[in-house]
Amino acid sequence: MTLLAVRGLHAGYGQGDVLQGIDLEVAPGGVTSVLGANGAGKTTFLRAICGLVKRTGEIHFAGRRIDTLATEDIARLGIAHVPDGRGTFTSLTVEENLRLGAYVRRDPGVPRDMAQMYEYFPRLFERRTQQAGTLSGGEQQMLAISRALMSRPKLLVLDEPSFGLAPLVTQEIFRIMRNINETEKLAILIVEQNAQLALELSNHACVIETGSVVAQGTPDFLRTDEALRRAYLGY
């Protein structure tokens, strides 16, 4: 049983494909990380899953084919994407950002989930009436993740959550991600420049180079392969 299955995915921005046929599976409840150098196609891969770039190939999610669907319909099926740059609604308040996360939900559990987010990230509660654009980078990342969680997704897609953040803030965010993964059994697909950090959180990982998957397996497998580690993981 797989939650997300990607087969032969090609995608790009008009002039040639960035992705050259990606195959990947994400198990329910698992954390899968996508590693690779700058420009390897990691962000494009995530954007292709959510229909933010033109793509060909097959993507199945929770038993449905989604590569022909529009971004908003993919989101409605339960994929919550935290894009690179965080995608904050900067002119809206923190609370409005969270309400938008639950935009497609019609169940009465929204206020309870919002309280849960404020519990995960007390700083968001302090700033709930503030314009989101006035938040620090770390707070905006917390807000972006919380907004994604507010949709009660089946799969959380994170694009470089540590980008531009202080190490302490990054650690706090990763600690909460692990907590949510363990308690809620929420599947996570994560692209991360900090390979060490990502591997600690993951139970499956793949390495992308120039638009193709060059290696995948358990974090231990990737860590022990000397050549892989030096070439792609950077330590």
Partner 1 sequence: MDGFLNQVLAGLASGGIYASLALALVMIYQATHLVNFAQGELAMFSTYLAWAMVRAGFPYLLAFVATLAVSFVAGAAIERIVIRRLAHAPVLSIVITFIALMLIFNSLAGFLFGTDIQTFPSPFVDSDAFPRPYMSAHELGILVVTLLVVLLLYAFFRFTSLGLALRAVADNPSSSRLVGIRVGWMLALGWGLSAAVGAIAGMLVAPIVFLEPNMMAGVQLYAFAAALVGGIDNPAGAVLGGFIVGVLENLLGAYWIGTELKLTVALVLIVLVLIVKPSGLLGRTAVSRV
Tell me if 103 contacts partner 1 by CB under 8 A: yes
How far apart CA 44 and CA 54 sit, in angstroms, is: 10
The single-letter code of the amino acid at 102 is A
78: left (phi over 0), alpha (psi -120 to 50) or beta: left
Is 89 a residue that touches partner 1 (CB under 8 A)?
yes
Q: Does residue 210 bind partner 1 (CB under 8 A)?
A: no
Taking Cα atoms as reference points, which of 160, 136, 141, 137 lies closest to residue 97? Answer: 141
CB of 109 to partner 1, least distance (A): 15
Token pair belonging to 70: 């529009």
Which of 56-64, 94-102, 172-180, 218-226 is the region at the interface with partner 1 (rule: CB under 8 A)? Answer: 94-102
> Which of 5, 27, 37, 100 lies at the binding interface for partner 1 (CB under 8 A)?
100
The contact mask relative to partner 1 for 143-162 (x = CB under 8 A, - = no) is ----x---x-----------
Does residue 62 touch partner 1 according to CB under 8 A?
Answer: no
> Do residues 151 and 98 touch, judged by C-beta distance below 8 A?
no
Helix, strand or coil for residue 10? strand
Task: Tell me which residues touch partner 1 (CB under 8 A).
Answer: 50, 52, 70-73, 75-76, 80-81, 83, 87-92, 96, 99-101, 103-104, 147, 151
